[in-house]
Structure 1
Amino acid sequence: MHIALPIFLLVATTISVSVLARRVGLSAPLLLVAIGAVASYLPQVPEVHVDSEVILLGFLPPLLYATAIRTSIIDLKRDVFQIVQLSILLVLVTAFAVGLVSWWLMPVGFAAAMALGGVVAPPDAVAATAVARRIGLPRRLVAVLEGESLFNDATALVTVGTAVSALTGSFSASRAGLAFVIAALGGIVIGVIAFYVVEFVQKHIRDAVTSVAISIITPWVAYLPAEAIKASGVIAVVVTGVLLGFKAPYYNTAQARVASRMNWNSIQFLLENMVFLLIGLQVSMIIDQVQTSDLGLQRTSLYAVAVLVTVMLVRPMFIIAAAWLGKVSRWDSRPLSLREGAVAGWAGMRGVVTLAAAFLLPPETPHRESLVFIALVVTIGTLVIQGFTLGRVANLMKLRAPDPREDALARAQVMQASVDAGEAAMRKALADDPELADTPEAIIKSLQKQDMRRANLQWELLATTTRWARRSSTASCVRR
């Protein structure tokens, strides 16, 4: 009972605060962090310490998988150059920049400073997409941010692991490079194998409940074998999820796909909001540890501000420079525009993976308490500063979400084209196949009416969306 009650309160608080944030128009991640931080100082709330393995094994695989199965493989192929830039090069540049600043300012060795750089380097998938969905960003920009956040955790974790190896005295450049290659290639191979295994099993399942149950354990089917061979479980989960999402119509029934989508939406909603509440609940514990450390709270806070500023400056400088170079040199056929680069550069919110990676630092790490505190400050600082202002930056750059009327028109046109093609195919089959020539006219008319209802529904939705958009535009003009 003493375990069930905290879990119940954690879940209930997560749901309640998330619904409240949506009603009042606030960012749920920011509100959950704030409430968790306040609650951490209440005497009735016990000290919360979330083991890094809980996050990396319990939260990260399903969250990555939930995003991966909805990620378009076409979008990934189209924006692969930008995604590689952000998820590999930018993470390494950020880690190196933070490492140099920390090494220069703090009384720690270069290995510990680089470990901190790897910890704070990757923006969080959950934080970025949660804020992007709330404020509304162009579809391509959201696809690039989601693609980046799917793969950057792997780069960061390998960087942290390499720095930790240097701390323990077992570092070598060749071994570090080999570890990175094994992590990437091994993750891809395991991800593809897991995809084929799950696809084979799902092909023989026609029960929607069983199919959803298999889907729920799929992230760990990819993650655990990859981690067992020292490959990247993150990459394995992402590869499996993207491939399964792309091939789902071929191996799964429509009923199973609908049920799976609804279940994963619920799982993602619960987990992605719960992690931010857990971040807040650890605030008091981390601050107490820093207050009793050798560096003290005040001195460590100054270091944390310096690292936060470095993190927030490196990302926009790198992305804007890459966008400009790509446009000038034409080495990239589809570079981000400077306006898109500015918004993407400001969308660098850190999340729970940063704290989880900080707790991976071994106990003998010099000034470990201060490094964990700095990771906390960077996480909360980017969530508050960039999370609150990202919408204003997008408005300043005049970037908007896709017009809902254009989406509704596209859906209606696709449905109408499908209905017309189906009608033509049916007429051709009736004319060419003697066995179908005796099909009762009532059945043919019933099928035609069903198709007509589907097409008409989409055109009616287009009309409804157009009226709603006009009312919203009028109301906006009146407010101005």
Structure 2
Amino acid sequence: MAFFESMLTLLLVAIVFLQFSRKFRIPYPTMLAIAGMIVAAVPWAPDVAIDPQLALALLIAPVLFDAAYDLPPRTLRRNWLPLFSLAAIAVILTAVAVAAVAMTTAGLPLAAALALGAIVAPPDAAAATAMLDRFELPRQTYVVLKGESLLNDAVALLIFSAAVAAASSPTFFSGALAQLALAAPGGIILGYLLGRLYMLIGVRLAGTLGGTLLEFVATFGAWIIAERLHLSAILTIVVYAMVIARYMPERQTARHRIHSYSVWEAAVFLVNVLAFLLMGLQVRQIFVDIDPGRLDFAITLAASVFITVIVVRLAWVLLYNRVITFLAVRRLTKQAVPTFATSLIAGWCGMRGLVTLATALALPIDFHDRDIILLSALAVVLGTLIVQGLTLGPLIRFLKFDPDTSLDRDLTKARIALIDAALAELDGDEKSTRILRDVYTSEREIAADGKHPREVSRLDKQRRNVITAKRRKLAAMRRDGEIDDDVFHMLEQELDWAELAALPPGRDEIVES
């Protein structure tokens, strides 16, 4: 009961701080991390411990699934070079640079220093998605940064596993190294197989509450199976989500999709809220566990690691910009050349999150210098969320990106194609066919002007006015006792669906705060 009360208290705190996030346009992960630190400072703050393995499965798996679902493999192939640059090279460079700093300034052994580097190297998928959704960025930059945050965790966790195994196993190179070499390809294969298996079962349960539950059970189950087989759980979830996103929507009904998306949106936001809030709560526990005599030393190392993480990523991204520009000028590559402004944003968008903290907590209890590694990891998480999170918006506004209309153009083109398909289907000279043909012809003219038909359609405006009048009548009938509540709720649901069909896109959209 105490744990449940603590969770309710934290959620209530989150709701309050989310209002500040919305009012002052501060990314909500930053605001929630600050809220966690404030709550941790009060004497009666709840003591909520995070089990590392549970945290990774419970908090990371659904966020990764949600992000990977919206990122198809063809997008990864199209942007393979910048993704490889950020998800692999930048992570490796950061891990090596942090390890060098830890060895020279703190005297950490190589394995412990490399473990620290791997822990703080990857920007977090949850943090990146939550931050980027709040700002207007060029479409290409947004896609690359989301893709990076899906893949870099796998690279970092492989380095981390190797470092921990090397520190604890004298026979590391004979056994553990071979196992790690199979983790990435094995995770990819497992994710594909589990995705195909889910489609066989999920189609049969589509449109049921059991099917909705299966979506969560299968996602968490995929992570656990990968962990049990010592494969990359992150790559398993990413591939699993991409397989389902590619093949499943065409086999679902509209009602099932709307229900599924709304449930996942609420669940993922709840996970994000708890994750970033719990991060701040770890401050007190880490300071309690650390040896007071090493506190100044640990803080110095944490500050050095934080600076190194930011500088290395920014330097590499700007260097990549110059190199790819040079290659493009010499006609040695066909990759799109990022502008200096987009590279600067990509370099500054390196917020760390729950993966970093949970990985640090997953260190063995007797691991060398575990306490100062935990403090350094926490400093990087909170530092990047607060420093980069608070300055990312002003930096984007300062750089004044030109409006990216590519998404609008693609939407207009696809919308016209759909209307043409509808018109082609309307053969015959019946009265209902003529009415529908006139409606779709009018909508095609509106779409060709780059507008959404429902935004200016007089017919849909009249539909919404009629629905409003129906709602007033329905409420009056209920108040007067002409109908019972069961009839009221059934008719209310019908009006909800009718209103949803008549609303323009983006209207009455549920947002995170």
TM-score for the superposition, normalised by structure 1:
0.87
Q: Which residue of 2 aligns with 1:164?
A: 164
Change (3 A) 1:74 1:451: farther
Separation (CA, whole Å) in 2 of partners of 1:98 and 1:219: 33
Contact 1:48 1:285 in 2 (8 A): no
Q: Are residues 463 and 273 of structure 1, via their aligned partners in 2, closer, same or farther at CA, if it must alter by over 3 Å?
A: farther
Q: Counterpart of 1:314? A: 312
Q: Contact conserved, 2:6 with 2:46, CA < 8 A, in 1?
A: no
Aligned residue type for 2:437: Q
Shift, 1:420, TM fit: 2.0
Task: Give the corresponding residue for 2:485.
Answer: none
Deviation, 1:400, is 5.3
Q: Which residue of 2 aligns with 1:477?
A: none
- The Cα offsets for residues 121-152 of structure 1, whole Å up to 9 and x where unpaired, read as 01111212222222321121111111111111
* Structure-2 separation of matches of 1:400 and 1:136: 10
Q: CA 1:249–1:140 in 2, change beyond 3 Å: closer, same or farther?
A: same
Match of 1:385 in 2: 387
CA apart distance, 1:64: 0.4
Unaligned runs of 5+ in 1: 431-439, 465-480
Note the residue ranges of structure 2 that are not aligned, 5 or more in a row.
459-513
- 3-state SS of the aligned residue for 1:3? helix
Does the CA contact (< 8 Å) of 1:18 and 1:273 recur in 2? no
Structure 1 SS opposite 2:248:
helix
User: Does structure 2 retain, via aligned residues, the 8 Å contact 1:92–1:121?
Assistant: yes
Alpha-carbon offset, residue 449 of structure 1: 5.6
Per mean C-alpha deviation after superposition, the further-off stretch among 455-464 and 235-244 is 455-464
Distance 1:183 1:444, change over 3 A: same
The answer as to whether partners of 2:112 and 2:163 remain within 8 angstroms in 1 is: yes
Summarize the alignment of residues 125-204 of structure 1 with structure 2, pairs less than 5 Å apart. Answer: 125-170=125-170, 172-173=172-173, 178-204=178-204
Alpha-carbon separation, structure 2, partners of 1:401 and 1:273: 31
Kept in 1, the 8 Å contact 2:195–2:243? The answer is yes
- Residue 445 of structure 1: which of 421, 434, 454 is its match? 434
State the shift of 1:209 in Å. Answer: 3.0
Tell me how far apart the structure 2 counterparts of residues 37 and 194 of structure 1 sit (CA, whole Å): 39
1:345 is paired with a residue of what secondary structure? helix
Match in the other structure for 2:37: 37
Q: CA deviation at 1:408?
A: 5.3
Give secondary structure in 1 for the equivalent of 2:205: coil
When residues 461 and 95 of structure 1 are mapped into structure 2, their CA distance, relative to the original with a 3 A threshold, is same
Q: CA deviation at 1:104?
A: 0.8
CA 1:170–1:293 in structure 2 vs 1: closer, same or farther (change >3 Å)? farther
Q: Name the residue aligned to 2:378.
A: 376
Q: 1:309 & 1:220 partners in 2: Cα distance? A: 35
Farther off after superposition, 171-180 or 368-377: 171-180
Cα shift at 1:368: 1.1
SS for the counterpart of 2:126 is: helix
Instruction: Please give the residue correspondences for 1:337-356 in structure 2 after superposition, counting only pairs within 5 Å.
Output: 337-356=339-358
Identity, % of aligned pairs? Answer: 29
Provide the residue aligned with 2:482 in structure 1.
Answer: none
Cα deviation, residue 220, structure 1: 1.9
Alignment of 1:239-258 (within 5 A): 239-258=239-258
How big is the shift at 1:106? 0.6
Deviation at 1:335, TM superposition (A): 4.1
> Residues 129, 206 of structure 1: CA spacing in aligned structure 2 closer, same or farther, 3 A cutoff?
closer
CA distance in 2, matches of 1:453, 1:62: 42
Question: Is contact 1:136-1:400 (8 Å) kept?
Answer: no
Instruction: Name the residue aligned to 1:266.
Output: 266
The residue number in structure 1 matching 2:321 is 323
C-alpha separation in 2, matches of 1:242 and 1:68: 6
Distance 1:37 1:209, change over 3 A: same
> How far apart in 2 are the matches of 1:92 and 1:425?
55
Closer/same/farther in 2, CA of residues 422 and 60 from structure 1, 3 Å limit: same
CA RMSD, aligned part only? Answer: 2.4
Shift of 1:451: 4.0
What does residue 437 of structure 1 align with? none
Q: What is the aligned length?
A: 449
Shift of 1:323: 2.5
Alpha-carbon offset, residue 50 of structure 1: 1.2
Q: Counterparts of 2:286 and 2:334 in 1: how far apart (Å)?
A: 44
Counterpart residue number, 2:296: 298
Equivalent in the alignment of 1:458: 452
Residues 95, 121 of structure 2: 8 Å contact kept: yes
1:291-316 Cα shifts (integer Å, max 9, x gaps): x3552x21211111111111001101
* Structure 2 residue matching 1:135: 3-state secondary structure: coil
1:12 aligns to what? 12
CA-to-aligned-CA distance 1:312-363 (integer Å, 9 cap, x gap): 0110111121232223223452343332221101101111111111111112
More displaced stretch, 95-104 vs 73-82: 73-82
Q: Which amino acid in structure 2 is aligned with residue 334 of structure 1?
A: A
Cα distance change, pair 127–362 in 1 and its aligned pair in 2 (3 A): same
In structure 1, give the amino acid aligned to 2:269: F
Residues 26 and 390 in structure 2, CA contact (< 8 A), matched pair in contact too = no
Q: Distance in 2 between matches of 1:332 and 1:346?
A: 25
Over 3 Å counting, the alpha-carbon distance change for 1:408 and 1:113 in structure 2 is: closer
Q: CA deviation at 1:29?
A: 1.3
Partner of 1:475: none
CA distance in 2, matches of 1:206, 1:101: 53
Q: CA deviation at 1:452?
A: 5.4
Does the C-alpha gap of structure 1 residues 206 and 270 become closer, same or farther in structure 2, counting only changes over 3 Å? closer
Change (3 A) 1:401 1:109: farther
Amino acid at match of 2:122: P
Once the two structures are TM-superposed, the CA of residue 459 in structure 1 deviates from its matched residue by 3.2
- C-alpha spacing 1:392/1:26, structure 2 compared with 1 (3 Å): closer
Q: Which moved more, 1:244-253 or 1:58-67?
A: 244-253
Q: Which of the residues 358, 361, 380 maps onto 2:360? A: 358
Identify which range, 366-375 or 165-174, moves more after superposition.
Answer: 165-174
CA 1:144–1:462: 2 relative to 1, 3 Å? farther
Residues 454-473 of structure 1, C-alpha deviations (whole Å, 9 max, x = no match): 65682353799xxxxxxxxx
* Distance in 1 between residues matched to 2:174 and 2:395, nearest whole Å: 42
